[in-house]
Chains A and B, each alone.
Chain A
Amino acid sequence: MRLTTFQKALWAAAGLVCLAYGTWVLVADPATPPRAEAAFRPVFSLSDAEGRIRTEADFAGKHLLVFFGFTSCPDVCPTTLSEVAQVMDDLGSDADKVQPIFISVDPVRDRRLGLAAYTSAFHPAILGLAGDEVQTRAAAESFHIYFERQDDPAAPDGYTMSHSPALYLIGPDGDWLRQFAYGTPASDILNDLRSRL
């Protein structure tokens, strides 16, 4: 019996090491923006508001403007989505070559509060996606972005989210092209897009 206890302890220790490594992998180098020259292809597999799984392959041939956020975010997210809406309006006949996507980093609450009503209030073209915990984490890692739940007793439901607030541009063949830092004026984003379309 003693051996069994000892073995259990060993297994527990091994488990702890795995957890520690996993945590280290998750927190290490959380937000280093990808370098422009380091081309990569972000992937995602996330549910839309109707529950259909959408992946990057669904949008092949289009430029994607991708933003990670959450709908209870009062400042950063509405500001960025407003700029995206402005860009989509100003693109005119080129608008159908660009797909704006809002990926929720707070998917359970956002599905409850209503994702489509939120994104369409900014612009009907914006597609809201909210996966499960694992899918969301995988998408964020694929885009090299960081998000974290932060406990805050004063916030609604007792928590808020911190997240990378940039806007990511993916090319028609799926390559990561660039990011627009938070606060980039809509006109700058528009000019960049026009030069590519």
Chain B
Amino acid sequence: MRTPILAALLSLVGLPAMACETFTIGNLMIEHAWSRATIGAERPGVLYVEITNTGSADDALVGIATPVAEMPMLHETVVTDGVASMPHAMSVPVPAGQTVALAPGGYHGMLMGLTTTLKEGEGFPVTLTFRDAGEVTVPVEVLSMQAEGPDCEHAGQ
């Protein structure tokens, strides 16, 4: 029963270059939501996104949810004394007037318990929950395994 619903959701957001669209909730701008393709669904996927707080009050990303993962969590890659580890992040601060990037080597969403293989060129929705601004659902573009981010300046030209 789950697959047709999932497929419908995927097809809704399965548009090219969606990582270059901008979404807003309150004073927050959400851009560049992307993920990497996976081989099968056994390994965790990843979520990267940029959040700009154009307001005068601090906010924080406190949770992520998506139909493609049973247990999505916020993590931060930390390199201490030459060793990388990936502790859970309870929240990601989004200070007033600043842009915060969930990006390779820093904060990222870890999508555990994938319900489907993430295929390059497809997409999936993710709901970001902010402490003050509330919830916003944005499409996430699945890029190749080798991708280091969406190439928005050249997209659609």
Interface residues of A (CB under 8 A from B): 30-33, 71-76, 78-79, 81-83, 85-86, 113-114, 117-118, 121-123, 146-148, 150, 154-156, 160, 162-166, 182-183
Contact = CB atoms under 8 A, between A and B. Distances in A.
Contacts of B44: 72, 74, 155-156
Interface stretch (B54-62, B81-89, B122-130, B132-140): B81-89
Contacts of B45: 74
B145 A75 contact: no
Contacts of A150: 85
Contacts, number: 95
A71 B43 contact: yes
A146 B83 contact: yes
A31 B46 CA distance: 27
Nearest to B39: A117
A154 B71 contact: yes
B84 A163 contact: yes
Given A82-B146, A82-B148, A85-B146, A76 B84 contact: yes
B146 A74 contact: no
A178 B78 CA distance: 22
B85 A162 contact: yes
A15 B147 CA distance: 50
A75 B86 contact: yes
Give the size range of B's interface with the partner.
Answer: 20 to 34
23 contacts: A32-B82, A71-B43, A72-B44, A73-B86, A74-B108, A74-B111, A75-B104, A75-B105, A75-B110, A76-B84, A83-B148, A121-B145, A148-B83, A150-B85, A154-B73, A156-B44, A156-B113, A160-B85, A160-B86, A164-B83, A165-B83, A165-B84, A182-B79
B105 A79 contact: yes
A72 B83 contact: no
A182 B85 CA distance: 12
Given A72-B43, A74-B44, A75-B77, A162 B145 contact: no
Contact of B112 (A31, A123, A156): A156
Nearest to A182: B79
Contacts of A75: 46, 75, 77, 86, 104-105, 108, 110
B90 to A, nearest CB: 13
Contacts of A72: 43-44
Nearest to B105: A183
Given A154-B71, A156-B112, A31 B105 contact: no
A122 B145 contact: yes
